[in-house]
Amino acid sequence: MITRSWRLAATWVASAASGFGSELSPGQPAPPLTPEKVLQSPDGAECTWQVLTGKVVVLEFWGTWCAPCVAAISHMNELAEEFADENIVFLSVTYEDEATIREFLTKRPMHSWIGLDTDQSMVRDYGIEGWPTTFLVDQDGTIAAITYPTSVTPTVLHNLLQGKDSGLFLADFRKKNTEQVTPNSAVPPLFEISIRPSTGNRASYSTGADHMTVEGQSLQTLLPIAYGVPASRMQITTDLPAERLDVRIQLPHQNDRRLKELLASALEETFQFQASPITEDVQVMIVTAPAPRLTETVAKDGSNHTSTGSNGFQGVGVPLTSLIRYLEKRIGQPFVDETNLQGRYDIALKTKNTDGPPELIQALQEQLGLSVTEDQRNLELLRIEPRTPH
């Protein structure tokens, strides 16, 4: 999500209140629909709650400049196609001008109504300061959920069509992202580092410029975050505990690099290991581009976004190295990029969770024109070993 201010940080001392300009939440009536113009709506269709009462409305605030918004288009298009014959309207609202939107749609079709909110009246009424934001509105015109576009699933929409709760966990993600995480005190800390055994079933990771919150993660998961080194490039020669951990770091200032340094130091002190770089010849996967089929990005202003899931990898405005990192993490073996491709691309690699290395390599070749071969290379690794007594 792209936001306007770092004051969304969970325990920002100066102001722990929401950085969004609205108190809207599920259960409240949706504010009026006031776009100046609507593109791609059926002839004669009106965009008001009076007319849309009785329909479920998926109301998304997006922009062509917003890489996460662009990345979510394919997901929303799939939903719009699946529910084309149902009592659902997909309405995508942007404050950009008509010429910009029409040009964009020639490159990236969208299967929704496009509302032009050029005076930003709807942006203000709905309190939007983060893009994309999706409101699910039920058949009575009541807000059912406020969420992220890719969190909207067929099950969620079927629930709303049947008059049920959406079923989304913590649907009001704005409240979730701004609530104070201070279990032992009503006052947010100025500075905090804590590592605890996890007692819950939830696994999550979130970070900002001045804070990091981790729940239910293993030490093996935390090491790549702390050192910025993929697990496939770590040589672990010490026993690490398998228990899941909760970690909380809060700084009095913005310094995301310092967050990772503090995480690494805290883990080393708690679990008594040390990390040192080494260089060795290792077996690697070499990626080349004999006949690349990559699409130059439509994202503007250098924005980028990546997402991974059961359908594979999707990136908007990303360098090829983003895809390489995904492959390295998924296969668990170092990858080396020797394609010489320096641009920024919109990449979609469709795979299945059950696909192994042979299927992934075949998908790379067939879908993107990239080739993968095995070879030896001299790489810098990170050795994790027992701490040497002083």
Under a CB-based contact definition with an 8 Å cutoff, are residues 80 and 111 in contact? yes
At 268 the pLDDT is: 94
DSSP 8-state code for residue 7: G
For the chain, what percent of residues have pLDDT higher than 90? 65
- State the pLDDT confidence band at 167, using cuts at 50, 70 and 90: confident
Instruction: Provide the CA 106 distance to its chain's centre, in angstroms.
Output: 26
Is residue 274 pLDDT above 70, yes or no?
Answer: yes
Is residue 154 pLDDT above 90, yes or no?
Answer: yes
Q: With a threshold of 0.85, does the pTM exceed it?
A: no
pLDDT digits 0-9 by tens, 77-120: 999 999 999 999 999 999 999 999 999 999 999 999 999 999 99
CATH of 2-176, one of 3.40.30.10, 3.40.1260.10, 3.30.43.10, 2.60.40.10: 3.40.30.10
Helix axis angle, 256-271 to 219-227, nearest 10°: 140
Residues in the chain: 390
Lowest mean pLDDT among 48-52, 207-211, 229-233: 207-211
CA distances from 192 to 188, 219, 262 (A): 10, 19, 10
Extents of the domains making up the chain: 2-176, 189-271, 282-382
- Taking residues 132-142, what's their average pLDDT? 94
- State the pLDDT confidence band at 11, using cuts at 50, 70 and 90: very low
Q: Taking the C-alpha atoms of 216, 318, 132 and 327 in order, what is their torsion angle to the nearest 10 degrees?
A: -30
Is residue 10 pLDDT above 70, yes or no?
Answer: no
DSSP string, 114-129: EEE-TT-HHHHHTT--
- State the pLDDT confidence band at 353, using cuts at 50, 70 and 90: confident
Is residue 18 pLDDT above 60, yes or no?
Answer: no
At 23 the pLDDT is: 66
DSSP string, 176-195: HHHS---TT-SS--SSEEEE
Which of 7-16, 75-84, 182-191, 310-319 has the highest mean predicted lDDT (pLDDT)?
Answer: 75-84
Is residue 32 pLDDT above 70, yes or no?
Answer: yes
Q: Residue 175: phi, psi to the nearest 5? A: -65, -40
Q: Residue 329: phi, psi to the nearest 5? A: -70, -40
CA distances from 138 to 28, 55, 58, 170 (A): 11, 7, 9, 17
At 1 the pLDDT is: 56
Residues 6+ apart with CB under 8 A from 139: 53, 54, 55, 56, 87, 160, 163
Instruction: Provide the CA 388 distance to its chain's centre, in angstroms.
Output: 39
DSSP string, 285-298: EEEE-SS---EEP-
| Strands 335-337 and 273-288, sheet pairing | parallel
For the chain, what percent of residues have pLDDT higher than 70? 89
Is residue 344 pLDDT above 90, yes or no?
Answer: yes
Amino acid at 187: V
Comparison of pLDDT for 150 and 20, the residue scoring more: 150
- Taking residues 309-334, what's their average pLDDT? 90
Under a CB-based contact definition with an 8 Å cutoff, are residues 23 and 143 in contact? no
Is residue 3 pLDDT above 50, yes or no?
Answer: no
pLDDT digits 0-9 by tens, 243-273: 899 999 999 888 888 999 999 999 999 999 9
Lowest mean pLDDT among 165-174, 297-306, 360-369: 165-174
Under a CB-based contact definition with an 8 Å cutoff, are residues 275 and 384 in contact? yes
At 302 the pLDDT is: 76
pLDDT digits 0-9 by tens, 187-213: 667 899 999 998 877 788 888 888 899
Residues 6+ apart with CB under 8 A from 196: 245, 246, 247
Token pair in block for residue 252: 């009095």
E strand segments, 198-341: 204-207, 211-218, 234-236, 244-250, 273-288, 295-296, 305-309, 312-318, 335-337
Is residue 170 pLDDT above 70, yes or no?
Answer: no
- State the pLDDT confidence band at 367, using cuts at 50, 70 and 90: very high
At 362 the pLDDT is: 96
CA distance 173 to 159: 19
